Amino acid sequence: MQDYGGLFFSLCLGLGLSASSGFRIFVPMLVAAIAAKVGVIPLAENMAWMGSWTAIIILGTATLGEIVAYYFPWFDHILDVIASPSALIAGTVLTASVLTGMDPAWQWGLGLIVGGGSAGLTQASTVTLRAGSTATTGGIGNPLVATFEHFAAIIGSVLSVWLTYIAVFLFGIFFLVIVYFILRRKKGATPGA
């Protein structure tokens, strides 16, 4: 029998980590790997590799490379093109990795819906923000956007692991703001509105 209190917590943890992966792909994966290694979060049996030293070293290297790469003008756009589908995959993996004691079909289905969905929404908002920065500043403002995204990924990931429900609440507000601006933009684009 499934422990629904545990399932709810795992889904919230997965949502927070996945939403953070929409800002930076590897930061939340690294935070989750470290948290699993020190025993703060449990991992599903089929995802135990994520809490290994090998995974931590690989994810640490990838995190450093990703953070540095976003400071190179115009390269950040190429990274966004790659990051969009990668964030969906990372979000799915992150959520699936914390859904313990579950049939794999449910584990990966919920991982895709909750994790992929939250990562995709966050990633779409960052791509829009960076495109706006590029259009208005010619790319000069993009390092400031990148710095915001780095901190959002780090803070979101750490909060998701240690203050899970607070992180989910904050991401909920973030998502509502995004939806509000999307609806407002659509209403403004409607002829005769």
Alpha-carbon distances, residue 190 vs 117, 124, 180, 182 (angstroms): 27, 22, 15, 12
Q: Scanning the structure block, which residue is given the tokens 């049939």?
A: 103
Name the band, by pLDDT with cuts 50, 70 and 90, for residue 189: low
pLDDT in tens, 8-53: 888 889 989 999 998 889 999 999 999 999 988 989 888 999 999 9
Name the band, by pLDDT with cuts 50, 70 and 90, for residue 188: low
Q: Which one has a higher pLDDT value, 177 or 158?
A: 158
pLDDT in tens, 110-123: 999 998 988 988 88
DSSP string covering 51-85: GSHHHHHHHHHHHHHHHHHTTSTTHHHHHHHHHHH
pLDDT of residue 38: 92
Distance CA 156, CA 16 (A): 7
DSSP string covering 120-139: HHHHHHHHHHHHHHHHHHTT
pLDDT of residue 132: 77
Distance CA 50, CA 193 (A): 50
Task: Please state the φ and ψ torsions of residue 92, each to the nearest 5 degrees.
Answer: -65, -45
pLDDT in tens, 129-156: 777 777 787 777 778 888 888 898 999 9
pLDDT in tens, 44-102: 888 999 999 999 999 999 999 888 887 877 676 677 778 788 889 999 999 999 998 88
Task: Name which of 136, 46, 42, 131 is nearest 93 in CA terms.
Answer: 46
